[in-house]
Amino acid sequence: ETLIESELFGHERGAFTGAIKDRPGRFELAESGTIFLDDIDDVPLSMQVKLLRVLQNRTIERLGGTRTVPINVRVIAGSKRDLKQLVAEGGFREDLYYRLNVLPVTLPPLRERREDIPVLMEYFLERYFRRRNEDVPAISDAVRQAFGRYSWPGNVRELENACERIAQTCSCGTVRVGCMSASILFRAGTQPAELGAPVVSTAN
């Protein structure tokens, strides 16, 4: 928790072992801009109290310091779990929930917006093949169908990981099902020879 507090609010020299100089935190560095707090549902309750104070007062105090520093930032928070349900379970402070929940934006899981899958797949494959200074190969229909059938419980991050793996291991002129993770193929509920059902696909 000390490391989280130091990362967000900064620290003064000598605040803890290894703090050899003053260091501004993310809130100070984001002055007049935006700070994105990802996975806010994983923040410990003790840290939630401090975050609430920052949002209410628009000031921070560095770890080990006594000086109050005013801040002017827009805060965007992301959560992989339903915060309202988490409040009911006692895992998230209700007052912080309402302080954050000014303009909620709900993004459905990838399995509920399958039309995004081929677009994201092509984007990430291009990114990782280009990063390796390689031409982006063609993508077989069977691969597109496998991606479309899979439920992607890890959402976009899992899809990105799958594309990076393909870029690291594929040496074919065309991305084929053999370049894909066997676990994804298995969980897509099909074998490579059976990948024939149509899915949404982008035009080449």
Structure tokens at 94: 């209700």
Alpha-carbon distance 76 to 100, whole Å? 8
pLDDT-based confidence at residue 71 (cuts at 50, 70, 90): very high
Looking at every residue in the chain, the average pLDDT score rounds to: 88
Lowest-confidence region among 5-19, 67-81, 117-131, 154-168:
5-19
pLDDT at 204 over 50: no
User: How far apart, in Å, are the Cα atoms of 33 and each of 5, 56, 91, 97, 114?
Assistant: 20, 17, 29, 22, 33
Whether residue 146 is predicted with pLDDT greater than 50 in this model: the reply is yes
Query: If residue 37 lies in a helix (H) or strand (E), which one and from where to where?
Result: strand 34-37
Type of residue found at 31: E
Checking if the pLDDT of 1 tops 80, the result is no
The Cα-based distances of 8 to 5, 11, 22, 83, 183 in angstroms read 5, 9, 14, 21, 38
pLDDT 10s digits, 114-130: 999 999 999 999 999 99
Query: How many whole angstroms from its chain centre is CA 13?
Result: 32
* Residue 195, pLDDT above cutoff 60: no
What pLDDT band is residue 90 in, cutting at 50, 70 and 90? very high
